[in-house]
Structure formats: structure tokens, C-alpha cells
Structure 1
């Protein structure tokens, strides 16, 4: 049911096919897992098909090793009219042990769309705990920063005419 579950965790083993030339899990594989978890969290919250419109602030903190158990957690931290900001934490560790360490963190923005691909409204998420309010406020500050960065980036996508 839409608007009920704001968090989910995908769990799986890092496989040899995920390895890079340095012998660790490839960053591109981690980014794919992030997108999958963000979609699942957004679709679960909204009850709609969702598309990725932004992924940013990706921080690769520690490497993931082949054979590690990987946990990719997506949590709704802000909702707009049609968008959902999803905080993603990737943790990994030896499957024989209970400890998992943070390997990657980022924010992904998903938009719910109808069958024609047009944005459609999502249930509002209202924070209730101090930690949730802190996360929501952080998401709002990041929105303002992205607007300023977007304005600066215009120079790169619209070159001046000389």
C-alpha cells in the first residue's frame, strides 16, 4: 500500500562478475545497485512506476570485496509533489560475521510517472522523529544547492556566442 513503507533493504552476495581491475567490486556495479534500491523504495512509497532524475553526492567510503554480503538500504527522506528523495546506504561485510561497514552513501531523486511518462503525485511523507526532521531538512538544503549548481552548469551546456 502506497505511503506506508518508506525504507527497504536489498541483500545479496557480491559476485566475481562485479569485480574491477583492482580486484574489488566495480563502482559501476555499486551504482546499479543504488539505482535498483532507489527504484524499489520509491515505487514502494508511491505505489507508482518511478524514474531516476538525479543521483548525487556519491561517496565511496570503503571497497566491497567479492563474496561480501551487500546490503543496499533506500529510505524516503523528503517528498515533493511528484518526487521522492531517497537516502541510500550501502553496507558490506563477511557473510560469516554480523558486522557490516558503510561502503557507499548518496541521495537519489525519483519521480513517479503515469503510463504516458508524465509526473504524477506521490503520498506526502511527514517526518516525526528528530532524526527524520534532520534528514528532511538536509534534503531541502541539498535541493537549494543543486539549483545553484545547475545555474553554474548552464555555462557548460549553453556556450556563449562570440
Structure 2
């Protein structure tokens, strides 16, 4: 049996159809790339089909220009019974210079599901390095914060 893959990097070229009226890549195009990388990372870890349960904390730091080489790095930072918290970082550069700069980061939660859409158990990830332990602890704190935010948001749900 192959070991689960904890991280992955997907690469894209920012194409003209990805650009908005301001000449920069649409935030929606970046979010699509993030979702694709989160899925690939979650499926690689779990060995299962996965669905997006949450995407948050999306921070657009710098614009991406058409023609840029875009790298979306995704890595598991926490696992539940069927869920995986994936930290994502987007970097872009001119492919001729390869001067990378961070453009976006966020957290996505993916859930492994069976053919009927029911959650399935996944392998558990345990942090080993200090950096992993810090990211794992942050994921736990963010879960607690999201729960509080969810309670506050109920006023908007009919």
C-alpha cells in the first residue's frame, strides 16, 4: 500500500480568459485553482473522493498578471475522522525570471465521502516538526473560531 501524500503543488499559466477588466487574474480563477489543489491534496491523503466543506481566510496579497506561472501549494495540517484541513499558498512569477512572490493564502476543509455522499474515515495525520505542530494548533483554534462565527451567522439563515 502506498503511503498517503500530505502535500502537493499544482502549476498553472495565467491565461487571458483568467483576467478581469482591470487586467489582473480574477479572484474567482484563483479560488478555482485553490479548490483544485485542495481536492488533489485531500484525495492524495485520504485515497477517497473528497468534497469542499469550507474555504475561508482567503487573503489576496498581490495581483497575478496574465502570462504568470502560478504555483498552488497545498498541505494537510489537521485531520478529523473524515475531514482534512488544507493550508494553501499561491505564488506567482514571470516564467522567464522565476522571481516568486506570494499572492494568496487560505485554509480549505475537505471531507472524504463515499458514493452516496456520506463521510468516510481517513488516515490520521500527526504533526512531528515544530512547524507542523504550530500549524496543527492553529487549525484547532480556527475550528473553534468558525464554530463561534457559525453561531453568530445563524441570524442570516431562514
SS in 2 for 1:128: coil
Could you say which residue in structure 2 is the equivalent of 1:58? Answer: 58
Determine if the alignment matches structure 1 residue 84 to structure 2 residue 81: no
The 1-side partners of 2:54 and 2:83 are apart by 10
Deviations 1:94-138 (A, max 9, x none): 101222110000000000001111000010000000000000000
Contact preservation (8 Å) 1:3, 1:123:
no
Q: TM-score, normalised by structure 1?
A: 0.95
SS in 2 for 1:30: helix
Structure 1 2/110 Cα, relative in aligned 2: closer, same or farther at 3 Å? farther
Contact preservation (8 Å) 2:4, 2:47:
no
| Unaligned stretches of 5+ residues in structure 1 | none
Could you say which residue in structure 2 is the equivalent of 1:47? Answer: 47
Contact preservation (8 Å) 1:3, 1:46:
no
Contact preservation (8 Å) 1:58, 1:107:
yes
Q: TM-score, normalised by structure 2?
A: 0.97
Could you say which residue in structure 2 is the equivalent of 1:136? Answer: 136
What RMSD, in angstroms, separates the aligned Cα atoms of the two structures? 1.0
Could you say which residue in structure 2 is the equivalent of 1:72? Answer: 72
Contact preservation (8 Å) 1:2, 1:47:
no
Determine if the alignment matches structure 1 residue 147 to structure 2 residue 115: no
| Unaligned stretches of 5+ residues in structure 2 | none
Determine if the alignment matches structure 1 residue 23 to structure 2 residue 23: yes
Count of residue correspondences: 158
